Each structure stands twice: as structure tokens, then as C-alpha cells.
């Protein structure tokens, strides 16, 4: 297996971001979070209005990471077997053989995942959590790495089905790109004129083996006990908030730590500081929180809950910002 040290991972990861930015304009912070989710070994949900670059970002990451890529367009008539594959009768052998579906890939673009009914959405659950699928009683393992980058339109948008809480919890992050600034939007137009064509030409920066090595290196990042307890306290505080019907599961605390480790590497460190956790708290926790129904018509939201929690839970080492057990190690890249 390929071995990489953390400075090499940081350099490669930033090369990936630079290459993706050749196609996606002005979204470095959001793209950094997407890549952090991949390096943490998880799946990412990109939720935003149509036309804001969700699909382009997913395709760009597949290309630059050098992973095998499959796109599944989620529609109201999509069946679970359309994702997992199914057994078909082979007349040459007079036997049933398994024909693999689009889940057998390195990176699955689940495009407009909330346009298909819950039964088909649920077909992804086993694959996302256990990296395997079961069809007619037989279990098939998925090759590593396997990641889902899903795009979704806001639930208020016509023709969408809300994702079940169990599936939302499987996504490490939920990210929104938002509208570009006027200058960024003009840059999109300028690049299109310069390309003289619709397609973006991106180069692979890594491959599947390198991605696995990068993920293995992220596992070596130091997390001080005060930081891991801070993650737990943030997740726990969401359950006690007066506006919340259902707070973050323990998976939310774990996700905070995992994504913060990957972000620390992208920022050139081999240890996590509280600022890393704070930077990922909203995309990690928001989709794991349900606000009380009676507050839906008020300003209360899952995002406001997370900001409240960040403001009330004491930050580790507040007297010495960023000081953890590896403070004297310095940047690793």
C-alpha cells in the first residue's frame, strides 16, 4: 500500500482543490469541506438551488481524485435494483448471474437524490454505512474507496421528497454553495468564452490507491482529549437546546472529530485545534438536528441552534487559543 506523510497529503489535497477550482469558481471554502469529508472517509450531501454548481463540483472531484465514477440520476421512477444491480438469466449458461449496478464504483454522484421516493433512497443506506449491498440474500462487498457525493434541491422545491433522518445521518457533511458574487459570476462567463466549449478539461491529481493512503495518513492526526470532549459537548448541547425536537446523534460528535482531523491536514497541521471543530460544526451538525414544528414559522433553525451551541459551550484552552498537546510540533506542511 502507498504510504504518505502528512505534509505530502496536505500538498496533494491542495493540488486537488486548485484543480477543481479551474471548473468551480469562487467556492474554495465549500470545496475544502467536501474534500475534508472524502479524506475523513465519509459521504457528502450538497444541497442548493439548481444551477449553482453542485453536479459540476462532484464530477470535478471524481476526475481530480482519479476515482472510478458513476452518475445515478435520481428520478421518481428509479427502483432500488437500478442502483444495486440485479440477477439476470444468462441463456448461455442457463443460470442467473449478477449484473452490477452503479453502486459498484469509487465515487457515486447521486444526482438530485431527493427526487426519488424513500424506498429507493433507502437502497443507499447499507452501501453508505457498511460498504456492501445485499441482493436476494447475497451480500456483495464494495471496493474501497467508496464515496457518495449527493446533490439535492431544497425540500421546499417542487417535486422533492425529504430524506429520512436515518439517511441524512449517514452523510458526514451537508454543504450549501450559495449564489456567487457578481465578480465570480462574471468569471464563470469569462472562462466559458475562453474555453470555446461547454466541457471542462481537468487532470487527475491522485488515484484510488493514493486516496486510500491519504485517508490512512489522516488517521494519524493527533486529537487531544480536550478536543474530543469538546466534540461530544457540542453534540450533547444540541439535544438540550430549547428549540430542538431531536438533537445530534453520537454519530455527529464522531463526525466532528473526523472532519476536523482532515481539515487540520488541509490547513497544514498534524493536530486538531478548536478552530477546526468550529469551522466544520455547521455542515456536520445542521442536518442531524430537527427543530420543533411549532417553531417552523419563526427565525429558529438548525443553523441558529448550532451557532447558539458554539457560543455557549466553553472552548478548550480559551485562555491560550489553539493550545493542545501537540502545540510545539508546529505546522506539518
What dihedral do alpha carbons 182, 184, 185, 189 form, nearest 10°? 130
Which CATH number do you get for residue 316?
A: 1.10.8.80
Is there a cis peptide before residue 97, judged by omega within 30 degrees of 0? no
- Inside any domain, residue 10: yes
Do 168 and 228 fall within a single domain?
no
- Cell numbers 444491480 label which residue? 85
pLDDT of residue 332: 37
Q: H or E segment at 167?
A: helix 165-168
The grid coordinates listed for 234 are 457540542
Do 185 and 262 fall within a single domain?
no
Which CATH number do you get for residue 138?
A: 3.40.50.300
Which residue did the predictor score with more confidence, 294 or 307? 307
Do 123 and 164 fall within a single domain?
yes
Do 164 and 238 fall within a single domain?
no
Do 208 and 242 fall within a single domain?
no
58-104: per-residue pLDDT in tens? 889 989 999 988 988 888 888 888 898 888 888 888 888 888 989 99
Report the b/e string of 195-207 with b at 16+ CB within 10 A.
eeeeebebeebbe
In the predicted structure, residue 326 carries a pLDDT above the cut 60:
no
- Inside any domain, residue 100: yes
pLDDT of residue 322: 39
Range 258-273 average pLDDT: 94
Do 233 and 179 fall within a single domain?
no
Mean pLDDT for the chain?
A: 86
Do 243 and 191 fall within a single domain?
no
Give the span between the Cα atoms of 288 and 252, in whole angstroms: 7
Q: How many domains does the chain have?
A: 2
Do 227 and 199 fall within a single domain?
no
For residue 284, the enclosing domain spans 221-329
Do 144 and 292 fall within a single domain?
no
The grid coordinates listed for 40 are 475523513
Amino acid at each position: 500500500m502507498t504510504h504518505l506523510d502528512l505534509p505530502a497529503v496536505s500538498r496533494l489535497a491542495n493540488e486537488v482543490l486548485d484543480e477543481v477550482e479551474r471548473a468551480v469558481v469562487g467556492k474554495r471554502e465549500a470545496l475544502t469541506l467536501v474534500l475534508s469529508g472524502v479524506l475523513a472517509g465519509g459521504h457528502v450531501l450538497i444541497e442548493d438551488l439548481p444551477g449553482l454548481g453542485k453536479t459540476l463540483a462532484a464530477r470535478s472531484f471524481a476526475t481530480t481524485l482519479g476515482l472510478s465514477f458513476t452518475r445515478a440520476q435520481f428520478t421518481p421512477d428509479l427502483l432500488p435494483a437500478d442502483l444495486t444491480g440485479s440477477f439476470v438469466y444468462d441463456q448461455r449458461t442457463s443460470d442467473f448471474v449478477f449484473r452490477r449496478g452503479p453502486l459498484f464504483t469509487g465515487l457515486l454522484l447521486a444526482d438530485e437524490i431527493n427526487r426519488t421516493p424513500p424506498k429507493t433512497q433507502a437502497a443507499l443506506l447499507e452501501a453508505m454505512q457498511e460498504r456492501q449491498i445485499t441482493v436476494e440474500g447475497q451480500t456483495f462487498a464494495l471496493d474501497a474507496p467508496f464515496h457518495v457525493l449527493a446533490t439535492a434541491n431544497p425540500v421546499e422545491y417542487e417535486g422533492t421528497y425529504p430524506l429520512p433522518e436515518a439517511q441524512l445521518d449517514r452523510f458526514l457533511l451537508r454543504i450549501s454553495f450559495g449564489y456567487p458574487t457578481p465578480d465570480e459570476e462574471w468569471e464563470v462567463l469569462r472562462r466559458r468564452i475562453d474555453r470555446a466549449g461547454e466541457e471542462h478539461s481537468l487532470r487527475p491529481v491522485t488515484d484510488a490507491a493514493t486516496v486510500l493512503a491519504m485517508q490512512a495518513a489522516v488517521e494519524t492526526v493527533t486529537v487531544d482529549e480536550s478536543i474530543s470532549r469538546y466534540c461530544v459537548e457540542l453534540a450533547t448541547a444540541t439535544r438540550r437546546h430549547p428549540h430542538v425536537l431531536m438533537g445530534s446523534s453520537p454519530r455527529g460528535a464522531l463526525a466532528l472529530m473526523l472532519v476536523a482531523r482532515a481539515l487540520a491536514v488541509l490547513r497544514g497541521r498534524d493536530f486538531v485545534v478548536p478552530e477546526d471543530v468550529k469551522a466544520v460544526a455547521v455542515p456536520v451538525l445542521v442536518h442531524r438536528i430537527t427543530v420543533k414544528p411549532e417553531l417552523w414559522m419563526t427565525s429558529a433553525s438548525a443553523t441558529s441552534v448550532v451557532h447558539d451551541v458554539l457560543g455557549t459551550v466553553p472552548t478548550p484552552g480559551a485562555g491560550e487559543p489553539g493550545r493542545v498537546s501537540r502545540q510545539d510540533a508546529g505546522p506539518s506542511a
